[in-house]
Amino acid sequence: MAVKKVGEKYRCNVCGNEVTVTKVGGGTLVCCGENMQKITG
């Protein structure tokens, strides 16, 4: 899933790392060799 806007939050389902987008570059966030999942809510 490509990053679309500032403030989105993503989590790694393998290690639990979480990130908040501060600058949109349009790429896909990857951690532990897998795409990070967008946190909704």
Domain ranges of the chain: 9-39
The answer to whether residues 31 and 38 touch, using CB atoms and an 8 Å cutoff, is no
Span 9-39: which CATH code? 2.20.28
Q: Rounded to 5 degrees, what are φ and ψ at 17?
A: -55, 145
State how far the Cα of 32 lies from the Cα of 6, in Å rounded to an integer. 23
Distances (CA, A) of 24 to 13, 15, 16, 32: 22, 23, 22, 21
Output the pLDDT for position 41.
64
Helix (H) or strand (E) holding 19: strand 18-20
Is this structure's pTM higher than 0.75? yes
pLDDT bucket at 1, cuts 50 / 70 / 90: confident
